[in-house]
Amino acid sequence: MALSLIDDIKSLSEFKKKTREVFDQLHRTGRPVIVTVNGRPDVVLLDAVVFERKLKALNLAELLNAGEADIKAGRVRPARAFLRAFKRGKTLPR
């Protein structure tokens, strides 16, 4: 999702005048729109579906990072040992 410098950056006054068009663009392209105030980026608008997808990807990345940290710290055990403990109902460490 590459940003278009021509289409995806709007001034606040342009956004106010063309709000519906900007929303349609967000839904159609899936790209973020940057709204500027006094020529500087102020806020980024993103379609809700795209935002939710990105949030899920970020959450997954955080879980993977935690897992990798556990591996590096040696907080691992063989899958079979885990499954045996799980089947016995043993309390599992977090």
Q: What tens-digit pLDDT sequence spans the chain (94 residues)?
A: 688 888 999 999 999 999 999 999 999 999 999 999 999 999 999 999 999 999 999 999 999 999 999 999 999 999 998 888 888 887 666 6
Token match 């995806």: residue?
8
pTM score, two decimals? 0.70
- In this predicted structure, what is the pLDDT of residue 86? 84
Domain boundaries, the chain: 9-46, 49-79
Q: Are 86 and 92 in contact (CB under 8 A)?
A: yes
- In this predicted structure, what is the pLDDT of residue 4? 87
> How does strand 33-37 pair with strand 9-11?
parallel
Which residues, in sequence order, are CB contacts of 44 under 8 Å at separation 6+? Answer: 32, 33, 34, 35
